[in-house]
């Protein structure tokens, strides 16, 4: 089972680039393809792929945020929020969660803490709520109440807007305390890992350096590979042995992020 996640930073723009999003989508040939930062409102693009169903979460604010999932497998149910309207990032289209017979698949676009950590309090609330949401899915509970009697593992992916450890960004000392590498954000990611989720890429590649998924558009950062790894696939501990491959496709352009992929064993 092949899964792909990509922060496209504006899907309409990526559709017009060469190669276009549709070509990249076909090339990657995923069973499930998750997008973040689509920056779309409903009806702004007419995008269909043979054999896939599409599920979109739109932000109330135009041209902002947004997530989507294309899947070859029909889900049992789809959630478009964590059911926490009081969160500062609620209404920004940051979640698409699909329940499949075997597992939950969660696409997330985590709020940025902003310069000088102006949004750090909201970010901390979001991180706590997201962790609780994913742990709830594991035991068969959704924001609307019980979903299935059977507990299911979770695969989550997306732009988590944090470099977890020093190995995950080019210049850790210069960025310590900045948004995306603050003690607060890294601590919340620790809590997510400690709650029973595995960073698939780092688990398979514990010593891999210079492996990044996002680069600033400034100062030829991508050309010089001055980047950050802020896009992740995390899986429930029970799926750890089923992870076959986790890759960062830095050879694919079109956004300031590149796609990441995860391959799991097929169900027996």
Q: Which residues are catalytic?
A: 109, 159
DSSP bridge pairs for 228: 169, 214
Please tell me whether residue 185 adopts helix, strand or coil conformation.
helix
SS3 92: coil
CB–CB of 4/30 below 8 Å? yes
In b/e form, how buried is each residue of 4-28, taking b as 16+ CB within 10 angstroms?
bbbbbbbbeebeeeeeebeebbeeb
Return the SS3 of 159.
strand
The span from the CA of 26 to the CA of 10, in Å, is 19
User: Residue 173 corresponds to which tokens in the numbers above?
Assistant: 């000392």
Residues 6+ apart with CB under 8 A from 58: 40, 41, 42, 66, 93
Place of tokens 């070859």: 72
Task: Name 25's Cβ contacts closer than 8 Å, sequence gap at least 6.
Answer: 33, 49, 70
Q: Find, among 146, 172, 152, 33, the residue nearest to 104 by Cα.
A: 152
């Amino acid at each position: 089972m092949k899964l792909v996640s990509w922060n496209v930073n504006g899907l309409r723009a990526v559709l017009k680039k060469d190669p276009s999003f549709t070509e990249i989508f076909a090339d990657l040939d995923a069973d499930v393809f998750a997008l973040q930062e689509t920056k779309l409102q409903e009806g702004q693009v007419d995008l269909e792929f043979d054999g896939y169903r599409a599920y979109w979460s739109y932000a109330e604010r135009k041209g902002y945020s947004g997530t989507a999932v294309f899947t070859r497998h029909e889900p049992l149910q789809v959630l478009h929020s964590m059911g926490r309207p009081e969160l500062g990032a609620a209404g920004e289209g940051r979640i698409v969660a699909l329940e499949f017979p075997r597992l939950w698949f969660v696409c997330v676009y985590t709020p940025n803490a902003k310069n000088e950590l102006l949004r750090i309090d909201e970010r901390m609330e979001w991180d706590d709520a997201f962790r609780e949401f994913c742990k709830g899915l594991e035991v068969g509970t959704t924001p609307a109440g019980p979903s299935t009697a059977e507990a299911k593992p979770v695969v989550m992916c997306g732009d988590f807007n944090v470099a977890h450890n020093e190995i995950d960004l080019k210049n850790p000392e210069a960025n310590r305390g900045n948004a995306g590498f603050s003690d607060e954000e890294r601590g919340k990611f620790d809590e997510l890992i400690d709650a029973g989720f595995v960073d698939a890429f780092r688990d398979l590649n514990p010593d891999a350096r210079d492996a990044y998924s996002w680069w600033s558009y400034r100062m030829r950062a991508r050309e010089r590979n001055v980047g950050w790894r802020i896009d992740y696939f995390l899986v429930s501990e029970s799926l750890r042995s089923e992870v076959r491959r986790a890759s960062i496709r830095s050879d694919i352009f079109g956004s300031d992020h590149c796609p990441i992929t995860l391959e799991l064993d097929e169900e027996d």
